[in-house]
Amino acid sequence: MKKLIIIGSILLLISCSSQLYIPIEATLTVSLEDLKTGREIYVKKCSSCHQLHLPNQYTEKAWSLNLAKMQDRAKITDAEKQLIYQYITNASKK
């Protein structure tokens, strides 16, 4: 039973992360490298505890509050939190 739960969780993570925006160009304020790093951190850190949310599910303000609330639980630094925020807010505009 435990193996089924683990396999199901992995499949869920794979299916959701494939729906996430993959940055292919820089913006006026964020480099392509930072956007890709933000996505990588978001997928790795946030999906370790729960299903990933698509960027357009929340407003920029809500994302900021969510990231502040989850920072300690996800064990992300201020710099990582900023990279995730930049990725999320730019992805929601696509």
How do residues 26-46 score in pLDDT, each as one tens digit?
787 899 999 999 999 999 999
Report field, pTM of the whole predicted structure over 0.85:
no
What pLDDT is attached to residue 13?
44
C-alpha atoms less than 13 angstroms from C-alpha of 32 in its C-beta half-sphere = 5
53 exposure class (CB count in 10 Å sphere: 0-12, 13-18, 19+): middle
Give the pLDDT mean for 11-40.
76
How do residues 57-86 score in pLDDT, each as one tens digit?
999 999 999 999 999 999 999 999 999 999
Give the pLDDT mean for 47-58.
91
- The Cα-based distances of 77 to 2, 17, 39, 81 in angstroms read 32, 22, 15, 6
